[in-house]
A and B are shown apart, each in its own frame.
Chain A
Amino acid sequence: MPEALNGEEYDATQLPDYLRLYYKRLFPHKQFYRWLSYNLSEDGIFTHREFSFTMQDDIYIRYLSFENQSEMEKEICAKIPHKIDIGAVFNIRPKNHRSNPNIKPMQRELVFDIDLTDYDNVRTCCNEANICNKCWKFMAVACKVIDIALRDDFGFEHILWVFSGRRGVHCWVCDKTARHLDTKGRGAIADYLQLSMSGGENSVSKVTLFDKQHHSIRRARSIIEPLFNEIIIDDQNAFGSATGTERLLKMVPDENCRKELQNLFSTTIADSKSIWSTFVGYFESMRVKSQLKPKLRHIIEEVQLAMLYPRLDINVSKGTNHLLKAPFCVHPKTGKICVPFNPNLATKFDPTTVPKVNLLLNEIDTFDQKNTDATETPEDKASRVKDFKKTSMFKSTVIFEEFIRKLEQSTKAQAITVSDKRMEF
């Protein structure tokens, strides 16, 4: 149990105390500001941004906005929100929204939200809010498929992937084009990335493929197919139960084939590997005998995609005004930090060992005890070792900083023109 390895359990009732220290010592205010100020490359890009705080008992405070980093930092440390959400950049200061009814969003990162609960009908290891390394593989696949599409197809570069603290991931696309997309553009991209799966709740997901497949679909297949055996057959043992095989059969859109397969399955050993190879073998032999109906021509690929293709919550992506939890928040239920991770190494990311707020605070204490000399004499903040560097949050902060560095390079040119403009009289 990873929980046991970490030694100390997280106690949600102590959250306010943890948070007070966390915001004071660990939360990367500076980086946070550097990210959202985008080099001040556009007017009001930071000051007109909406923040929302969730306080105790799910009380929301919306339409907060801050003048600069120190005001933001002061507010966060004073209010100690359980959760911070990031909204859009508006045409006016959001905090003045009451006096101005014409408030409208001007820009907003393109965001994606993928949640493991949407995979509940294909994952057998956990359900609902739980997560283990096996289910994380679904997220890793999703992350890979979406990330490559955003970069190669749309040419986006500044993409931040964040673990959402419990069982999902958030993706922030911060390129200028992405931030300035209107609702229609966001909807189009979301639909492009989404594979329509017929069948609603509790029914079987079904993907339909045609002979001519879009390059993004073929690319997704090349990512998914090599992983199918590992994830679906070995880890999830998805067809090892009666419900599992039933679900597989339901994906076959042909009555006769279903019956024949059912008979075959009844004589097969009920483990996923045998069932799947029977399934594949059945259609392969049909193909060889050229008895395969056109609608069944891609059945294998269809099943693979239906089970592993990313399941996006596209409503989050479509709106320009949707609030999304900020990186480096503490998930109130798990105590885990919403840390950024590297999408290329998504498979290596371990959601169960994500640093928890209580442990991080312990780590600082331990570090400080070891270096008592340094803390004995109060020194300048600047010369002190940055607190986050003393903890296991260090790695994710580096990823975040690297993301910001590249982002700043791209916004620099623009920042110059904006400041030039301000000089004019």
Chain B
Amino acid sequence: MDFPKRSKIKPLKTPDEESIDRFAPHNCMFYIVPPQNDVSLKDFEELAIERLKLLRILEQAGLKYPKILSDEWKEHIINELNLEGLKYFVRLIKGNGNTDQDKQSRRRDYLSHFILRFAYCRSEELRRWFMAREMELFRFKFSALSSSEIKDFIEIYEMGYRPINDEQKNEIRQELQNMVTGSVDNVDFYKVNFLSVLDLVRQRKCFLKGGYAYVSSMDFSSIIGGHHQKFIEKGLMSHLKLLPEFENDERIVGIIKGLHTSYVGKDYTVNKEADIPIESLNQLSLKSYPLCMRMCHDSLRTTHHLKHGGRIQYGLFLKGIGVTLEDSLRFWREEFTKNIEPDKFDKTYAYGIRYNYGKEGSRTNWSPYSCMKVINTAPNPQDIHGCPFKLWDTIELRSKLTTYGLNAMAVQDVVSYASKGHFQLACGRYFEAVHETKLDEGITHPNAYFEYSQIIMGNRLAKEKSTPTSQQSNFNNRKQVQMNKQQEFKRKMDARIKEEHDFDEELWKLSQHEEELLTQWKARQDATQTEISQIASMDWNDDNENVEDMSQIANYL
């Protein structure tokens, strides 16, 4: 869904905005009392998606800079928020304020949190993800507060923490002095049970005596964070109880149900940049496929069949990387008909493939699965699809990666991330090992994986550069791709002219999108220029042999 970028914070269309302010009294807030206001459906959806974007940005930042609250982490988030036009969140993570702008921002923050609770209370996994992101947001907000703002905060929420008095302070002055820079007199200290500040205990960041921790107001976020977490935890559970009632309203269910697995990044539904001939899929699968897709491909090639879930996951992926419907049909037919009659294929399976391309049934042009979707699918034991980093046990994963020619260190790296539940990080490591390079972005979409790979290998950008001489073995292949691409684009356009009555708008959108992408490519091109020139000089055949060699060696190990 496209939303125009805004520089101003848009007011909400609710009749009694002011009443929200009671429940959102501070830029850094607890979400305690759920909203009692009317919210228009449009606002509802918009708020949901905006907060989802925010949480995704936090997730990405965490993947890139694992040290939460580090400067790079903060900078990354602020940049991304500005890019996404979510300026009001930026305002909220810069301390407290009471201007109209602040109030507007707080209202959106407050409402959007409660909206997303409905989407994220369903399962343990979703709740944990949501909690983790919300806590990161809260810590970010709280870290920006000054000592007096913290005091305000504690007063507003009547938390009853009172700083220790001077007498108590003097008794342990020496010890406290070691906790802070500057004089102890200028800092408030709070005495709490050590169990409520485990993070500080772990880092020896508080003075401990007899089971009590003395915490400076700077380090107080640990305690407050604990409360915040409890509020959200409880809140999610009570939202869960409300859910059945809520689900009577189809309009709302439609918005929230698939929210988590919905994908707010780049749209891969229609691929206009590339055209991939199916003959090259085998080769592509070796390097440019993420493991989840490679499994589907390998399994399809060896068993000449793929179960329903796998057909959708892999079929949509193929669409995303630029395999046309015609090619797709040919590809699946060739493979399936090694086991079954062509007639049966046409009757049973061709429908599903056309369906993926939006040519059957509801005629929706389905988006390829994002990582979230792949990770959250629950395949049956015989199924091939789903996220291998999540589904496979360590031994299986280890042996598979080894046969794919990863060295022992890389295998260990990937496996250890996977076993800790960082499936996308594991995937990123796998990417780095396969491509022998560093990856700046996190993997959030199998098609993004493919795209990064193609860029690194010089395939995608090389097209504009058109330097096929250096990659002779691939030359014919690529030439064909280029030709195909031009023809295909023209053909698609022609088809559209015939088919679509609102063609003009389509085309305009399309060309605009194309332009946007072009500028993106340009930017990336600069960044990867050096890499490309290095890789471009590599001999392609050799490369493939290496992969094979390695896997053979691995077999002997």
From A152, A213, A214, A215, B210 is in contact (CB under 8 Å) with A152
Quick check: is B207 within 8 A (CB to CB) of the other chain? Answer: yes
Quick check: is A197 within 8 A (CB to CB) of the other chain? Answer: no
Residues of chain B with a CB closer than 8 A to A152's CB: 209-210
Main secondary structure of the interface of A (DSSP, over half): helix
Given contacts A152-B209, A153-B209, contact A188 B204 (CB under 8 A): no
Indicate with 1 or 0, residue by residue over A181-194, a CB within 8 angstroms of chain B CB atoms: 10011011101100
A177 CA / B211 CA spacing, docked (Å): 10
Quick check: is B175 within 8 A (CB to CB) of the other chain? Answer: yes
Which B residues, 185 to 238, have Cβ-Cβ distances below 8 Å to chain A?
194-195, 198-199, 201-204, 207-212
Quick check: is A370 within 8 A (CB to CB) of the other chain? Answer: no
Which chain A residue has the least Cβ–Cβ distance from B203? A191
Quick check: is B37 within 8 A (CB to CB) of the other chain? Answer: no
Given contacts A215-B175, A216-B204, contact A154 B211 (CB under 8 A): yes
Interface pair A216/B178, CB less than 8 Å apart: no
Which B residues, 27 to 74, have Cβ-Cβ distances below 8 Å to chain A?
none
Interface pair B201/A189, CB less than 8 Å apart: yes
Given contacts A185-B195, A214-B178, contact A154 B208 (CB under 8 A): yes
Which chain B residue has the least Cβ–Cβ distance from A212? B178
Interface pair B194/A154, CB less than 8 Å apart: yes
From A177, A192, A214, B195 is in contact (CB under 8 Å) with A177
Interface pair A213/B198, CB less than 8 Å apart: no
Interface size counted on chain B using CB atoms at 8 A: 18
Interface pair A192/B204, CB less than 8 Å apart: yes
Residues of chain A with a CB closer than 8 A to B201's CB: 188-189, 191-192
- Chain B nearest CB: distance from A98 CB in Å? 22
Residues of chain B with a CB closer than 8 A to A187's CB: 202
Which A residues, 173 to 221, have Cβ-Cβ distances below 8 Å to chain B?
177, 181, 184-185, 187-189, 191-192, 212-218
Indicate with 1 or 0, residue by residue over A266-293, a CB within 8 angstroms of chain B CB atoms: 0000000000000000000000000000
Given contacts A212-B178, A214-B178, A215-B178, contact A185 B198 (CB under 8 A): yes
Residues of chain A with a CB closer than 8 A to B209's CB: 152-153, 155
Which B residues, 147 to 188, have Cβ-Cβ distances below 8 Å to chain A?
175, 178-179, 181
Residues of chain A with a CB closer than 8 A to B179's CB: 212
A153 CA / B198 CA spacing, docked (Å): 13
Interface pair A188/B178, CB less than 8 Å apart: no
Interface pair B178/A155, CB less than 8 Å apart: no
Which chain A residue has the least Cβ–Cβ distance from B172? A215
Interface pair B198/A215, CB less than 8 Å apart: no
Residue of A152, A192, A216 with highest tally of chain B CB at under 10 A? A192
Residues of chain B with a CB closer than 8 A to A189's CB: 201
From A155, A156, A181, A215, B207 is in contact (CB under 8 Å) with A215
Given contacts A185-B195, A215-B175, A215-B178, contact A155 B210 (CB under 8 A): yes
Residue of A181, A191, A217 with highest tally of chain B CB at under 10 A? A191
Interface pair B178/A213, CB less than 8 Å apart: yes
A152 CA / B211 CA spacing, docked (Å): 8
- Chain A nearest CB: distance from B86 CB in Å? 32
A175 CA / B181 CA spacing, docked (Å): 35
A185 CA / B199 CA spacing, docked (Å): 9
Which A residues, 121 to 143, have Cβ-Cβ distances below 8 Å to chain B?
none
Residues of chain A with a CB closer than 8 A to B194's CB: 154
A192 CA / B203 CA spacing, docked (Å): 6
Which chain B residue has the least Cβ–Cβ distance from A184? B198
Given contacts A177-B195, A185-B195, contact A214 B204 (CB under 8 A): yes
- Chain A nearest CB: distance from B205 CB in Å? 8
- Chain B nearest CB: distance from A152 CB in Å? 7
Given contacts A154-B194, A177-B195, A213-B178, contact A188 B202 (CB under 8 A): yes
Residues of chain A with a CB closer than 8 A to B198's CB: 184-185, 188
- Chain A nearest CB: distance from B528 CB in Å? 35
A67 CA / B292 CA spacing, docked (Å): 51
Interface pair A191/B178, CB less than 8 Å apart: no
Residues of chain B with a CB closer than 8 A to A154's CB: 194, 208, 210-211
Residues of chain B with a CB closer than 8 A to A191's CB: 201-203
Interface pair A192/B178, CB less than 8 Å apart: no
Residues of chain B with a CB closer than 8 A to A212's CB: 178-179, 181
A217 CA / B204 CA spacing, docked (Å): 9
- Chain B nearest CB: distance from A204 CB in Å? 23
Residues of chain A with a CB closer than 8 A to B195's CB: 177, 181, 185
A217 CA / B209 CA spacing, docked (Å): 14
Residues of chain A with a CB closer than 8 A to B175's CB: 215
Interface pair B211/A155, CB less than 8 Å apart: yes
A152 CA / B208 CA spacing, docked (Å): 8
Which chain B residue has the least Cβ–Cβ distance from A156? B211
Which chain B residue has the least Cβ–Cβ distance from A175? B211
Indicate with 1 or 0, residue by residue over B485-501, a CB within 8 angstroms of chain A CB atoms: 00000000000000000
Interface pair B199/A188, CB less than 8 Å apart: yes
A162 CA / B288 CA spacing, docked (Å): 57
Residues of chain A with a CB closer than 8 A to B207's CB: 215
A30 CA / B181 CA spacing, docked (Å): 54
Taking Cβ atoms with an 8 Å cutoff, the residues of B that contact A are: 175, 178-179, 181, 194-195, 198-199, 201-204, 207-212
Q: List 14 A-B contacts (CB under 8 A).
A: A153-B210, A154-B210, A154-B211, A155-B212, A156-B211, A181-B195, A185-B198, A187-B202, A191-B202, A192-B201, A214-B204, A215-B207, A217-B204, A218-B178
* Shortest Cβ-Cβ A-B pairs, 6 listed: A155-B211, A153-B208, A188-B198, A155-B210, A188-B202, A214-B204
* Further pairs besides A155-B210, A192-B201: 16, Cβ < 8 Å: A153-B209, A153-B210, A154-B194, A154-B210, A155-B211, A156-B211, A177-B195, A184-B198, A185-B198, A188-B198, A188-B202, A192-B202, A192-B208, A216-B204, A217-B204, A218-B178
